[in-house]
Amino acid sequence: MRNMDDFPARDGRVSGADYRFRKMSEQDLAEVLAIEHETYEFPWSEMIFKDCLRVNYHCYVIESAQQVKGYSVMTVAAGESHILNICVDKSLRGFGVGHCMLVHLVEQARSHRAEMMLLEVRASNKIAIELYLRNEFNEIGRRNAYYPAKKGREDALILARIL
């Protein structure tokens, strides 16, 4: 469990003492799903999150006043880490919480001896792409028609960084 005071906020707008990271549990899923459904047009199902927990993926929440305000899901195997999902409650976007969650994932991946971190991001998700580029990720490829979209499919950028 880490307090947000341990992380540098982008511009000091996050009140560190009020937030903490911890492992996600099934009891968190109602709050996680509420954020997921509010954020994504094609959200993950409860079963996907349950499967991630069941197979011991690295699943974390960030909470304030015992309320989930964001979450992340990552795998680590064979020297690689793969971020599968990272999301912040709409009310906290733009306050450095996503950056802090990303720093937390990098630290967790390193602690499990990962040497590289990978992720896919929608090509249209400019805010997330900027966050990743500011945090040493580089575009290494593209997956055509990877994500469902209102009008068919959308490409994903593949980003990676050395740990």
Domain ranges of the chain: 2-162
Could you tell me which residues come within 8 angstroms of residue 9 by beta carbon, excluding any fewer than 6 positions away? 16, 95, 96, 99, 100
Q: How much is the pTM?
A: 0.88
Task: Give the model's pLDDT for residue 16.
Answer: 53
pLDDT in tens, the chain (163 residues): 444 554 444 443 345 557 889 999 999 999 999 999 999 999 999 999 999 999 999 999 999 888 999 999 999 999 999 999 999 999 888 888 899 999 999 999 999 999 999 999 999 999 999 999 999 999 999 999 999 999 899 999 999 999 9
Question: Could you list the active site residues?
Answer: 120, 132
Query: Which pLDDT belongs to residue 154?
Result: 96
Name the β-bridge partners of 130: none
Q: What is the CATH number of domain 2-162?
A: 3.40.630.30
